[in-house]
Amino acid sequence: MREIWPGDPYPLGATYDGAGTNFALFSEVADRVDLCLFDDEGGEECVTLSEVEGHVWHCYLPGIQPGQRYGYRVHGPYDPKQGQRCNPRKLLIDPYAKAIEGSVNWDQAVYGYTFGDPASRDDSDSAPYVPRSVVINPFFGWGHDRPPQTPYHDTVIYEAHVRGLTIRHPGVPDRIKGSYAAIGHPAIIDHLTSLGVTAIELMPIHQFVTDHILEKRGLSNYWGYNTIGFFAPHNAYSSSGERGGQVLEFKAMVKALHEAGIEVILDVVYNHTAEGNHLGPTLSMRGIDNANYYRLVESDNRYYMDTTGTGNSLLMRSPHALQLIMDSLRYWVTEMHVDGFRFDLASSLARELHDVDRLSAFFDLVQQDPVLSQVKLIAEPWDVGPGGYQVGNFPARWTEWNGQYRDTIRDVWRGEPARLPEFASRLTGSSDLYQLDSRRPAASINFVTCHDGFTLEDLVSYNDKHNEANGEENRDGANDNRSWNCGVEGPATGPVAQLREQQKRNFLATLFLSQGVPMLSHGDELGRTQGGNNNAYCQDNEIAWVDWTENWLFLDFTRRVSKLRREHPVFRRRRFFYGRPVRGSGDPLSDIVWLTPGGTEMEDQDWNNGYAKALAVFLNGEAITEPDSRGRRIVDDSFLLLFNAHYEAIEFTIPSDYGEMWETELDTAMPIATGTRMCRAGEAVPVAGRSVRVLRRL
């Protein structure tokens, strides 16, 4: 006879203390909750939780050790019209499970209704077909691990997929390829440090589910934006082979990255779950307390509000849904030592009712939280609901993926007219979006490419998407890519290939010379291509994996331009430019001056010249107002950045007011670094068509 103690209602989930495990589950609608324990042969033992406080059902079981598999069966009302979907025949994943074993086997039994009749109730047992929650050992030898706490203005982000980045790397042992251990391997870490990366932003690693429809097509949910466990590292990314081993392996990865000075940022999906709409499976929260976790259509609670395009949205005005998210975030910081989060479709988190509310309860909770308010918080500032595009509208201390930066930089380099005024704003940190809210340039996460859309190689190789491999007749993915194939669709050689390499150098030079936080998409520095697929969410294969056959010329350029930024604080200012001489700097020159190719200051007619595609900018390194960490005044070199997006070479006159002698630091028209090239004030300097030239004052 198993010994059962009352236990405690907090913390939620399964908590091992060295002698046994406390289990706690919230459900306001339950009549009874059964905790089901599974042995190695699949045998099931159910323990009824007789203790309930504040709608939390709990018990303590002495002797239950890490590795124990479990799930819940919740007895309660099944009335979809009233938003209630309890069914004890469905084995449910603990929303607070720290590890999850197995995956979903898409049998009829995992659904709450009979196929073809959504109003019916299916009472077949789902246990043989659904994953198990797993009790973990929370103890880990962190030693002297400390978060790098890199200031935003010094941060370089590298967006990466755990499997896609490592699965083909020749220096990673075969047994750990595609895993957390591979991310922490010296071969990967050395590559990141050589690029000057200070933070790796991992695409979703919370336990996720591959949709039934994708499995039927022989595909998978490769990206992972289909979460079912907000506390559990995805089990398929573990190489350990041990039950719950993904937790220890993830922690070891974080520790290794921290030792190299690299922060770990998680791309998190708190806006919806893998349970989908009213026709989706019953895997966890739907069967536990549907109406307390999900936004339901008020006029008919059978249906789900969907501002994410995935079938459901979490109910952000429910204290229980908010608690789940906040508990999850704190867990990843305090127990897993991650350094920040990028929130997928973050506008959905701000929807308490229907409108996006920047002062919603979620943001209030984060702002006052002593743990979460101190880590990096990055918003993807849009969703698919009405009014969901919110670039520039998130609260203080939040940074944002700047979609306007991406669009503007792409437009400029593909030769779109009348883009210079906005280009100037994006290059200098997007003050039009962030300054009025007392935010700084680092509020802008600048990127040209990311996981969603073309790779950098494909951005210069394709005018149109080519997503046929996704099985949706090329209907999926964005149609507006702002790309230019340089004259040939797809692979090319000769002058077209050379122009593409130059365009790629233009994009990365612009990215690293812009104020704000640069973000690289994994493999772009190697010329990664997806063959024109701009929506590789379901391609767990060579279409999406990084090919480590090095494009050494472009890799070298990426390292050089990253080093230029790292060595010169004028490219990573903490404050916006003033556009005038800075009091106290002792320099009579403005901190920034915009110039025509003729060397004169830009005037209104120059900015409004719709066909102009070239300009220069003087950055005064002696007029940086912010001190360093020890309060000392920062003094840097001064630079002239010469941008020519026209297809022909343009001669830029070096102005005489800003310095006598200049040296070329970078020229995107040159695939390799060349010897020192000097020029004098008043001299006409040729800048090749579609190129950037960077001059440093001597």
Phi first, then psi, for residue 509 (nearest 5°) are -60, -45
The residues near 303 (Cβ < 8 Å, ≥ 6 apart) are 277, 278, 296, 297
Between CA 566 and CA 141 the distance in angstroms is: 33
Q: Cα 258 to chain center, whole Å?
A: 19
SS3 182: helix
CA dist., res. 441 & res. 427, Å (int): 10
CB hemisphere CA count around 419 (13 angstroms): 23
**Furthest C-alpha separation in the chain:** 93
In angstroms, the Cα distances linking 239 to 97, 164, 266, 379, 452 are 20, 15, 20, 31, 27
At residue 398, φ and ψ (nearest 5 deg) are -95, 145
Asked if residues 27 and 71 have their Cβ atoms less than 8 Å apart, the reply is no
Distance, in Å, from the CA atom of 245 to the CA atom of 479, rounded to the nearest integer, reads 42
End-to-end CA distance of the chain: 84
Residue type, 496: V
Which residue of the set 34, 263, 306, 344 is catalytic? 344
Q: Is 442 helix (H, G, I), strand (E, B) or coil?
A: helix
Chain-centre distance for alpha carbon 581: 38
Spatial separation of the C-alpha atoms in residues 522 and 192, rounded to whole Å: 10
Where does 414-493 have alpha helices with state H? 420-427, 431-434, 456-459
Is-catalytic flag, 422? no
Distance in angstroms (rounded) separating the CA atoms of residues 686 and 665: 15
Residue 407 makes CB contacts below 8 A (sequence gap 6+) with 482
Are 136 and 235 in contact by the 8 Å Cβ rule? The answer is no
* Residue 415 DSSP one-character state: T
Q: State the Cα–Cα distance between residues 85 and 104, nearest whole angstrom.
A: 19
Return d(Cα 398, Cα 382) in angstroms, integer: 14
**Rounded CA separation 84/76 (Å):** 8
* CA–CA dist 508, 692 (Å, integer): 10
| Pairwise CA distance, residues 132 & 68, whole Å | 9
Asked if 306 and 153 count as a contact pair (C-beta separation under 8 A), the reply is: no
| Percent of the chain as helix, strand, coil, to the nearest 5 | 25, 20, 55
Residue 151 token pair: 């200031």
Q: How far apart are CA 174 and CA 170, in angstroms?
A: 9
Q: Encoding tokens for residue 22? A: 């406390």
Catalytic residue among 101, 159, 380, 383: 380
User: Is residue 163 a contact partner of residue 237, using CB atoms and an 8 Å limit?
Assistant: yes
Three-state secondary structure string covering 563-623: HHHHHCHHHCCCCCCCCCECCCCCCCCECEEEECCCCCECCHHHHCCCCCCEEEEEECCCC
How far does CA 15 lie from the centroid of its chain? 29
Characterize the bridge pairing of strands 399-401 and 376-379.
parallel
Active site includes 344? yes
Active site residues: 344, 380
